Amino acid sequence: MPKTFSLIVILTCCTIATGAQTITWKKQEFVLKNVTASVVKLNGEEVLKVERDLKALPFDINNMAATVDEPTYVKLQHVELENGIIEVKLLSRIQDPSPFEGARGFIGLAFRISENDTAYESIYVRPKNGQSEDQLARNHTVQYYSYPHYKFDRLRREAAGVYETYADIGLNEWITFRVELAGDTAKLYINDQKHPAFIVNKMKGDVTKGAIALWVDIGTTGYFKDLTITKK
């Protein structure tokens, strides 16, 4: 059964710096891109809460492919990564009420982000799918995409099954999420497993080095803690 958690005391709010909205968490500064964010206490732990800002970036259910898999994240300042390891613990819940009936708790990482947020790579999960009774939905638990040209819909259409997979995860539970980057390859390890849950053999983007961000999408309240980055 999913673990239950108590919630929430707001500790700090966003600030404005150099024209961009930012937040400081664990002595790290993040820029908000199409999201709202706050530092909160969850079961006594200080964590970062992130939700998509629908005023900054509206969602259109009739044009879903164009309004999801977008830069909706908090981007870490002053750190760039080409090859190495990004590890974070993440937990997602579906908003109540949710602006999207098909919300799955979309949460993950964006990396190799260009300076102006026009291109990046991402791996995220749909935790609700991980406990679905429908096998096809289970197969869509983990997702890779490359912004802006290779979102989930195009990858699913042109290479079905290659850029998605199943993972044994669920909503409302902490998930250890580790991405290892080496050249064109990205590997995802979940919950300290020995072998990767997911491998992207050749990422689609042209940006080989860039910023790192904590990413959420429509209908998700995402929580993050224990972010570490190891360069190689």
DSSP 8-class letter at 130? G
For 165, phi then psi, to 5°, come to -165, 175
In the chain, what percentage of residues exceed pLDDT 90?
A: 91
Determine the pLDDT at residue 55: 97
The structure tokens listed for 16 are 């404005």
> Which residue has tokens 């102006």?
116
Determine the pLDDT at residue 8: 36
Report the distance separating Cα 32 and Cα 27, nearest Å.
16
pLDDT digits (tens, 9 = 90+) for 21-59: 999 999 999 999 999 999 999 999 999 999 999 999 999
Q: Do the beta carbons of residue 107 and residue 127 sit within 8 Å?
A: yes
Determine the pLDDT at residue 19: 64
Written as one letter, the residue type at 58 is P
Cα torsion 68, 74, 76, 77: sign: positive
The structure tokens listed for 120 are 């990046």
Confidence band for 20, pLDDT divided at 50, 70 and 90: confident
Q: In 3-state terms, what secondary structure has residue 6?
A: coil
Contacts 24+ apart (CB under 8 A), 13-22: 13/38, 14/38, 22/77
pLDDT digits (tens, 9 = 90+) for 62-120: 999 999 999 999 999 999 999 999 999 999 999 999 999 999 999 999 999 999 999 99
For 116, phi then psi, to 5°, come to -105, 15
Longest dimension (CA), the chain: 48
Does domain 7-231 fall into CATH 2.60.120.560? yes
Beta strands in 126-174, from DSSP E residues, in sequence order: 142-147, 164-165
C-beta neighbour count of 53 within 10 angstroms: 16
Domain ranges of the chain: 7-231
Closest CA to 212 of 99, 78, 75: 75
pTM beyond cutoff 0.85 = yes
Determine the pLDDT at residue 1: 41
Q: Is 96 exposed, middle or buried (0-12, 13-18, 19+ CB in 10 A)?
A: exposed
